[in-house]
Amino acid sequence: MNVNNFHRLLTAVSVSASVILALAGCGNAGSANNRLDDTGKPIVTIMPVKVAAMIPMKDMAWTKQLEEDCDCVIRWQEVQDTAWSQQKAPALAAGDIADLSIKAVSPEETAKYPDLFEEMTQHLDQLPNVKRFFDEQPDARKLVTVDGKIRVLPSDRGKDFTFSGQTMVINKTWLDKLGLNIPTTWDELYNVLVAFKTKDPNGNGKADEIPMNIQKLETKSIGGWWSPFLLLNSTGIATSFSYTPSQQGIYLKNGKVGSWIQTNEFRQLVDFYHKLVSEGLIPADALTKDSSKYDAQNRGDGKTATVGVAFGWSNRTVFGQDNPTLSGQYVAMPAPASQSDVTAVWDASGVRFEDHKLAMSAKAPNKKTVLKVIDLLYSEKYSVQQLYGSIPEYVTDDGDHTYTISDDTFTETNEGKMNSLQDRLAGWIPDSVTLNNEQWTPELKEINKVYESQLSSFDHDRDAVPMYLRTVDENDSNTLTNNNSEIFDYALPIIARWMIQGGADQEWDEYTANLNKLGMEENVAIWQKAYDEYTK
């Protein structure tokens, strides 16, 4: 009987903890403490949750080096994202997990099954690379800490990935043609959009310009990736739209948690959007059209630009990855200030770190070997290989923490073949590492330079939702989920209506009072408690 079946059997018949201990103690669990292959090497099972484009783990050459370095046999139990989302709940309920899981479970999920996942802070002395990672990046440690415990390790793609991925882009070719500058206030933005609408900046003789294009609102959150509410940063309230609390309407000012959807600044923003929609500067169907239509509008016929301003990951992703004719017309712009006496800020979230990367089964046999594998994965050499491909096939180790990535890594990815785990790595790229020929980030680093000044104008721990902010107990999580479901159902249609038809000023007091009745005040208190816990 294999170990997984053994555990499943025990779960199925609800054997008490004492019986399990007794069985394990008498040695009948057989391989429980030394699951070995025929040659006597310890076997470690690893389940990476993958995407279809990734080649099999055995074909990534670094996995063979890893087996040599750990002096163990690794059995890869690969699963696709789509399959895992179906299997996860039953697998966790049954306690049926591999020795190591990559990109499979969140800190909250591991906290929900504390007996299933090994608590890692107790092992940090056996994990020198992970310990150094946490010493150098203390926020990464906070990112996975729940109630002082860590049951899943985070990842760090390195300093090249220090940007938010939230970008406001504007057609610079049009601005130049019209003799206009990048707008720095809402008044200037308004004037620019009017010029875009009325002066045929694409020069085709048709009034076909969409001065500003926005995507429809989310349904399961208020903010989110590339939300039109990124313009809240214009008012001095910083969003962190890659992070859950900010998406749920939460913000921070001077260490105090509040609800941004009840601020006067948000009301100003809604009024501003209504002005733009009512004057035809934003399409009236902006909040109802689906995302495919939004994308199609931005890309137009691929030759003639028709959109002036939009939000996205980059000008290339919004206006065509392989279409420099179109996307080359656009540049990133800082948030224009809502008023000339307001200091605008920018979205404080980031894409460098991720929380749900490597979880260890509390029941893993060969624990010492499993810990060795973990520490190898978090070493510099294996982290680079997980992210960019094997050495020497795809990456050259130039020594002195310097690596050169081959063009093949990028061309093969573009052709739909991923030769590494890429952003799914369970690893850490230290700041001391230099990566030559890195082709994913230069453009984004360049684009995001326009936000440096706005991002350095506030305290990222006290004036924005930090990446590590999460709810610390299950009751609070449930309360948030229940409250948010009612809050979103109530608020989203109203906000959308105000943006299109107006009316925010008249209905505002009733709206904010209703939000509190639906639990917004309670949510704010829960997030304040969580914030205080992480920053005490």
- List contacts with Mg ion (CB under 5 A): 200, 202, 204, 206, 208
Could you tell me the smallest distance in angstroms from the CB atom of residue 304 to Mg ion? 7
Which lies closer to Mg ion via its Cβ, residue 177 or residue 275?
A: 177
Residue whose CB is less far from Mg ion, 202 or 240: 202
Query: Residues of 233-252 as b/e, b for ≥16 C-beta within 10 angstroms?
Result: bbbbbbbbbbbbbbbbbbbb
Nearer to Mg ion, 279 or 443 (CB): 279
Q: In 3D, which of 291, 323, 314 has the Cα closest to residue 214?
A: 291
> Can you give the three-state secondary structure of 400-428, one letter per residue?
CCEEEECHHHHHHHHCCCECCCHHHCCCE
Pick between residue 196 and residue 311 the one whose CB is nearest to Mg ion: 196
Compare residues 249 and 300 and give the one whose CB is closer to Mg ion.
Answer: 300
Helices 3-12, 81-94: axis angle to 10 degrees equals 60
What is the SS3 assignment for 74?
strand
Element housing 383 (H / E): helix 380-388
Question: Minimum distance from CB of 208 to Mg ion (Å)?
Answer: 5
Q: Considering beta carbons, is residue 210 or 405 the nearer one to Mg ion?
A: 210
Q: How far is the CB of 323 from Mg ion (least distance, A)?
A: 18
- Angle CA(340)–CA(343)–CA(345) in degrees, nearest 5? 130
Tell me the Cα Rg of the chain.
26
Distance of CA 131 to the CA centre of its chain: 23
As measured in angstroms, the least distance from the Cβ of 204 to Mg ion is 4
- Least spacing, CB of residue 192 vs Mg ion, in Å: 16
Return the number of the residue (206 or 417) whose C-beta is nearest Mg ion: 206
Pick the closer one to Mg ion by CB: 204 or 291. 204
In angstroms, what is the minimal distance from the CB of 174 to Mg ion? 10
Q: Whole-number minimum distance, CB 301 to Mg ion, in Å?
A: 12
What minimum distance in Å lies between the beta carbon of 322 and Mg ion?
A: 24
The Cα–Cα gap between 111 and 124 comes to 18
Structure tokens at 225: 């990736």
User: Judged by CB, which is closer to Mg ion: 203, or 255?
Assistant: 203
CB nearer to Mg ion: pick between 81 and 208: 208
The owner of tokens 């109530």 is 490
Q: Write out the DSSP string of 94-160.
A: HT---SEEES---HHHHHHSTTTB--SGGGGGG-HHHHHHHHH-HHHHHHHEETTEESSEEEE--GG
Q: Which residues pair with 149 in a beta bridge?
A: 146
In the complex, what is the shortest distance from the CB of residue 293 to Mg ion, in angstroms, rounded to a whole number?
A: 19
Spatial distance between the Cα atoms of 97 and 370, rounded to a whole number of angstroms:
14
Instruction: Write phi, then psi, for 103 (nearest 5 degrees).
Output: 60, 40
Based on CB atoms, which residue is closest to Mg ion, 204 or 485? 204
Q: Tally Cβ neighbours within 10 Å of residue 30.
A: 13
Least distance from Mg ion to the Cβ atom of residue 329, Å: 13
What residues does 150 pair with on adjacent strands? 145
State the Cα–Cα distance between residues 63 and 376, nearest whole angstrom.
Answer: 11
Q: List Cα–Cα distances, 49 to 46, 347, 417, in angstroms.
A: 10, 29, 16
Closest approach of Cβ 298 to Mg ion, in Å?
15
